[in-house]
Amino acid sequence: MDDKDLIERAKTDKEAFGELYQQYVERIYQYVYYRIGNAADAEDLTAKIFVRALAHIANYQDQGVPFSAWLYRIAHNLVANWHRDRSRRPVVALDDILHWHVGSEDPQFVAELMEDKARLAAAIRRLPVDRQELLMLKFVEHLSNAEIGDIMGRSEGAIKSLYHRTLMALREELQQEEVPQQDKSAVSPVSSLLGRLRHKKRA
Quick: pLDDT tens for 80-102: 888 887 765 555 555 555 556 55
Region of poorest pLDDT, from 68-82, 83-97, 163-177, 187-201: 187-201
Q: 97-112: per-residue pLDDT in tens?
A: 555 655 544 445 445 5
CB count, 10 Å around CB of 175? 18
The confidence score (pLDDT) of residue 186 equals 52
What b-and-e string marks burial along 47-56, b requiring 16 or more CB atoms within 10 Å of the CB?
ebbbeebeee
Cα–Cα distance, 109 to 190 (Å, whole number): 9
The confidence score (pLDDT) of residue 105 equals 42
Q: 22-77: per-residue pLDDT in tens?
A: 999 999 998 898 888 788 999 999 999 999 999 999 999 888 888 999 999 999 99
Question: Nearest 5 degrees, angle CA 47-CA 50-CA 54?
Answer: 140
The confidence score (pLDDT) of residue 128 equals 86
Class of domain 3-85: mainly alpha
Q: 107-130: per-residue pLDDT in tens?
A: 454 455 456 667 777 888 888 888
Cα–Cα distance, 133 to 140 (Å, whole number): 10
Helix (H) / strand (E) containing 70:
helix 67-85
The CATH number for 97-202, chosen from 3.40.80.10, 1.10.150.120, 1.10.260.40, 1.10.10.10, is 1.10.10.10
In which residue ranges of the chain is CATH 1.10.1740.10 found? 3-85
32 touches 81 (CB < 8 A): no
- CB-neighbour burial class of residue 64 (10 A; exposed 0-12, middle 13-18, buried 19+): exposed
Helix (H) / strand (E) containing 158:
helix 156-178
Dihedral angle of Cα 170, 176, 179, 180, to the nearest 10 degrees: -160
- Higher local confidence (pLDDT), 66 or 198: 66
Q: What's the predicted TM-score (pTM) here? A: 0.67
Dihedral angle of Cα 119, 122, 127, 132, to the nearest 10 degrees: 100
In which residue ranges of the chain is CATH 1.10.10.10 found? 97-202
